């Protein structure tokens, strides 16, 4: 079983982080994983994406050309990657920033108003975790608890007070996908 | 064993520290910057030296000095920076100074681009600098090998008193994978040749690559060639995956071997007989195993992120005993799994008449 995922968005939306958390969570579950970033020289505002592979086998190519799962945090990212998603795959997108409603035969699509939900949770920056939660709800790629453990290890100690907020955002997204 | 996620560049840097490396000299260039960044933080914690030199030329000569004085010393750069370092590499080869040089290769020629490439194979394996010298060249294929091979590289550099190169690329450096880190080693090998004082001897040790009298230079070169012959006999490393019953053996290293592995796993599900031969040492090259596979009737496909460099060594190894086909991507682009899959399929459907 191999799960190939692309996370894409504007720089600053936290797509690299959610990709790393997916890979980290997979590793904590004993899987073989890779994370590979692709971005321009910009720190904020440019487009960024990363490829994540989670597998029972040693991972070959770390670059995902035909994802099983796509997380798209903005319109340009959805437009760029949606057609590559494999039949039977999943797209979770940030409907706060995407006006079109994508339709792809054989692909499960989930709209998450990430910006609004983040605001409801009290922190505009947490939209990425809401979308990740929804992705986990749909795909069960890794367990939410594995992501929470990964957060303990990825975040520096001075940021650990934010873990409950991140957990709440993950749960919020997860429940949307389950609904 | 605990696994931690690390970028290849960081895994390599931590692997070097744990292998006893206590000197790093370098100059910034993408896509290797995680190595000096990591070393700048980590070296002071272990009592080592991190120094950002004013240029690559300066950095490699600091490596020459520290290596000559017996230190475990590392430098890293990317393709254009490695070109600048070649004079120093040749001097160290001539003076028999151990060190490890990492090339996180990017596309060329010239300034090229920032994207991954394998077009520095010739430079790494055929010289690069002037003179009749060889480097031991390792090509890691995953983050764990970044850790394992850097440790091995230091040991071999000192065992042979020779510079060792790690030829990586932008993907190997930037990708994160789980790694198991070895414990910290304290390494204090005996280096009676190093310039650390006379210690009661009547003559000082001299580190020099000069052989101004013709006979001296000949003697030096004979000594070097004997050493390279020992390295060629003892240091070949490769991974062979499913080559015994394969009709076609794909030869690839580093990042392209990863793409090939994905393509092969798809093809094997379709009962295609295809194997992977992945050189881990690019010099010495795994000539013998390729010659044997050729003699056993296998055909070969070489996949590289270049216009074809390692393929020349495969052709030399196969030596007309079988057919060698090449598939390359030009500087800065990575073959897709589908491209490699399609190429292998079409070669296999051509049948054995080759």
User: Following DSSP, what letter does each residue of B22-35 receive, concatenated?
Assistant: -EEEE---TTSTHH
Categorize the per-residue pLDDT at B353 as very low, low, confident or very high, splitting at 50, 70 and 90. Answer: very low
Average pLDDT for B82-88: 98
Domain CATH number, residue A126: 3.40.920.10
Q: Does pLDDT of B144 surpass 50?
A: yes
In this predicted structure, what is the pLDDT of residue A12?
Answer: 87
- Which residues of chain A make contact with B263, given a CB cutoff of 8 A? 60
Do residue B224 and residue B161 come from a single domain?
yes
**Side-chain-side CA neighbours of residue B152 (13 Å):** 18
Q: What is the pLDDT along chain A (179 residues), one digit of tens a residue?
A: 899 999 999 988 999 999 999 999 999 999 999 999 987 665 566 789 999 999 999 999 999 999 999 999 999 999 999 999 999 999 999 999 998 888 899 999 999 999 999 999 999 999 999 999 999 999 999 999 999 999 998 889 999 999 999 999 999 999 998 77
- Domain count along chain A: 1
Q: Are residues B175 and B43 in the same domain?
A: yes
**Contact: B259, A23; criterion CB under 8 Å:** no
pLDDT of residue A41: 61
Final residue before a domain boundary, out of B181, B212, B234: B234
- Minimum mean pLDDT range among A131-140, B47-56, B208-217, B334-343: B208-217
B251 and B184 within one domain: no
Q: Which of B321, B337, B159 is nearest to B258 (CA)?
A: B337
* Å between B256 CA and nearest CA of chain A: 8
Contacts of A63 in chain B (CB under 8 A): 171, 259, 334, 336
Residue at which a domain ends, from B234, B259, B287: B234
Tell me the β-bridge partners of A91: A70, A109
Q: In this structure, is residue B108 part of a structural domain?
A: yes
The C-alpha atoms of residue B281 and residue B234 are separated, in whole angstroms, by 11
pLDDT in tens, B39-83: 999 999 999 999 999 999 999 999 999 999 999 999 999 999 999
pLDDT digits (tens, 9 = 90+) for B94-112: 999 999 999 999 999 999 8
- Under 8 Å between Cβ of A170 and A178: no
Phi, psi for residue A26 in degrees, rounded to 5: -60, -45
A43 CB near a chain B CB, below 8 Å? no
For A48, the domain range is 2-178
One domain, residues B208 and B330: no
Closest-CA distance of chain A to residue B261, Å? 5
Residues of chain A contacting residue B1, judged by C-beta atoms under 8 Å apart: none
User: B262 to chain A nearest CA, in Å?
Assistant: 5
| pLDDT range class, residue B113, cuts 50, 70, 90 | confident
Residue A148 structure tokens: 């929470």
CATH value at residue B345:
3.40.50.920
Chosen from A60, A66, A149, A154 to mutate, greatest number of chain B CBs within 10 A? A60
Average pLDDT in chain B:
95
CA distance B304 to B310: 8
Give chain B's domain count.
Answer: 2
Q: A84 CB near a chain B CB, below 8 Å?
A: no
CB contact under 8 A, B174 and A36: yes
The reply to whether B13 falls in a domain is yes
Question: Tokens representing A97?
Answer: 């920033």
Q: What's the gap in Å between the CA of A14 and the closest CA on chain B?
A: 17
Of B174, B176, B259, which is closest to A61 when you measure between CB atoms? B259
Taking the C-alpha atoms of residue A69 and residue B237, their distance in angstroms, rounded to an integer, is 37
In this structure, of A20-29, B86-95, B179-188, the range with the lowest mean pLDDT score is B179-188
Q: A40 and chain B: CB distance < 8 Å anywhere? A: no
Identify which of A20, A58, A65 has the shortest CB distance to residue B176. Answer: A20
Same domain membership, residue B222 and residue B93 = yes
Please indicate, yes or no, if residue B354 is contained in any of the structural domains. Answer: no
pLDDT at B354 over 60: no
Residues B202 and B264 in one domain: no
Interface size A-B, in CB pairs within 8 Å, comes to: 56
The span from the CA of B310 to the CA of B278, in Å, is 11
Question: Torsions phi, psi of B14, nearest 5?
Answer: -70, -35
Any domain includes B49: yes
B87 in any annotated domain? yes
For residues B117 and B42, membership in a common domain is answered with yes
Cβ contact A62–B336 (<8 Å):
no
Cβ contacts (< 8 Å) between B260 and chain A: which residues?
Answer: 60
Q: What is the CATH number of the domain that holds B209?
A: 3.40.50.970
- Using CB atoms within 10 Å of the CB of residue B175, give its burial: 0 to 12 exposed, 13 to 18 middle, 19+ buried: buried
pLDDT at B43: 98
- How far B319 CA lies from chain A's nearest CA (Å)? 30
Q: What is the DSSP secondary-structure string of B170-197?
A: HHHHH-EEEE-PPPPPP-----TTSSS-
Q: Please name the member of B261, B334, B338 whose beta carbon is closest to the beta carbon of A60.
A: B261
Note whether B327 and B191 are same-domain residues. Answer: no
Q: Considering B175, B206, B234, which residue would you say is the last residue of a domain? A: B234
**Chain B contacts of A149, Cβ < 8 Å?**
none
Q: Which residues of B touch A65 (CB under 8 A)?
A: 336-338
Q: Are B82 and B101 in contact (CB under 8 A)?
A: yes
pLDDT in tens, B238-262: 999 999 999 999 999 999 999 999 9
Residue ranges making up the domain that contains B43: 4-234
Distance (Å, rounded) from C-alpha B235 to C-alpha B285?
A: 9
Q: How far apart are alpha carbons B237 and B69 in whole angstroms?
A: 30
CB B161 within 8 A of CB B120: no
Chain A CB contacts of B5 under 8 Å are 20, 23-24, 27, 33, 35
Q: Nearest by CB to B337, from A33, A35, A65: name it.
A: A65
All residues of chain A having their beta carbon less than 8 Å from the beta carbon of residue B258 are: 59-62
Interface of B with A (CB under 8 A): 3, 5, 142, 171, 174-178, 258-265, 334, 336-338
- Name the 3-class secondary structure at B265: helix
B230 and B270 inside one domain: no
pLDDT of residue B212: 83
Which of A27, A37, A60 has the CB atom closest to B178's CB atom? A27
Shortest Cα–Cα distance, A122 to chain B (Å): 31
Best of B8, B114, B177 to substitute, by most chain A Cβ atoms within 10 angstroms, is: B177
């Amino acid at each position: 079983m191999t799960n190939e995922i692309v996370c894409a968005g504007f720089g600053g939306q936290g797509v690299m982080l959610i990709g790393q958390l997916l890979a980290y969570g997979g590793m904590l579950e004993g899987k073989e994983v890779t994370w590979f970033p692709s971005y321009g020289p910009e720190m904020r505002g440019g487009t960024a994406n990363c490829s994540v592979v989670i597998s029972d086998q040693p991972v070959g190519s770390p670059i995902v050309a035909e994802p099983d799962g796509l997380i798209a945090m903005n319109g340009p990212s959805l437009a760029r990657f949606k057609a590559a998603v494999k039949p039977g795959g999943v797209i979770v997108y940030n409907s706060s920033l995407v006006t079109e409603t994508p339709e792809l035969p054989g692909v499960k699509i989930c709209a998450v108003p990430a910006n609004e939900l983040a605001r409801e949770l009290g922190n505009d920056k947490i939209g990425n975790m809401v979308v990740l939660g929804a992705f986990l709800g749909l795909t069960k790629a890794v367990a939410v608890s594995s992501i929470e453990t990964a957060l303990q290890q990825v975040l520096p100690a001075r940021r650990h007070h934010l873990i409950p907020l991140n957990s709440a955002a993950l749960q919020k997204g997860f429940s949307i996908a389950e609904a | 064993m605990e696994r931690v996620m690390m970028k290849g560049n960081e895994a390599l840097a931590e692997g070097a520290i744990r292998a006893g490396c206590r000197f790093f000299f370098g100059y910034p260039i993408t896509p290797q910057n995680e190595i000096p960044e990591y070393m700048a933080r980590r070296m002071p914690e272990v009592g080592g030296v991190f120094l950002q030199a004013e240029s690559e030329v300066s950095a490699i000569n600091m490596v020459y000095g520290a290596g000559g004085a017996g230190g475990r010393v590392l430098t890293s750069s990317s393709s254009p920076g490695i070109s600048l370092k070649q004079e120093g590499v040749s001097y160290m080869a001539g003076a028999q100074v151990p060190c490890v040089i990492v090339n996180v290769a990017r596309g060329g020629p010239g300034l090229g681009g920032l994207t991954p490439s394998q077009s520095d194979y010739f430079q790494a394996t055929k010289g690069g600098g002037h003179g009749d010298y060889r480097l031991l060249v390792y090509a890691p294929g995953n983050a764990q090998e970044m850790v394992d091979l850097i440790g091995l590289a230091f040991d071999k550099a000192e065992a042979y008193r020779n510079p060792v190169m790690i030829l990586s690329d932008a993907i190997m450096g930037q990708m994160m994978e789980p790694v198991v880190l070895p414990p910290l080693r304290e390494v204090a090998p005996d280096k009676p040749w190093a310039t650390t004082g006379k210690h009661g001897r009547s003559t000082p040790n001299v580190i020099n690559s000069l052989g101004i009298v013709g006979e001296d230079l000949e003697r030096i070169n004979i000594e070097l060639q004997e050493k390279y012959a020992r390295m060629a006999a003892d240091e070949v490393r490769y991974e062979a995956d499913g080559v015994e019953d394969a009709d076609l053996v794909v030869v690839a290293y580093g990042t392209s071997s990863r793409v090939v592995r994905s393509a092969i796993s798809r093809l094997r599900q379709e009962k295609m007989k295809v194997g992977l031969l992945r050189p881990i040492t690019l010099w010495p090259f795994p000539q013998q195993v390729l010659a044997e596979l050729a003699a056993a009737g296998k055909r070969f496909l070489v996949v590289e992120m270049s216009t074809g460099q390692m393929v020349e060594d495969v052709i030399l190894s196969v030596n007309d005993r079988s057919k060698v086909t090449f598939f390359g991507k030009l500087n800065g682009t990575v073959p897709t799994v589908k491209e490699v899959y399609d190429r292998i399929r079409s070669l296999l459907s051509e049948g054995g008449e080759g």
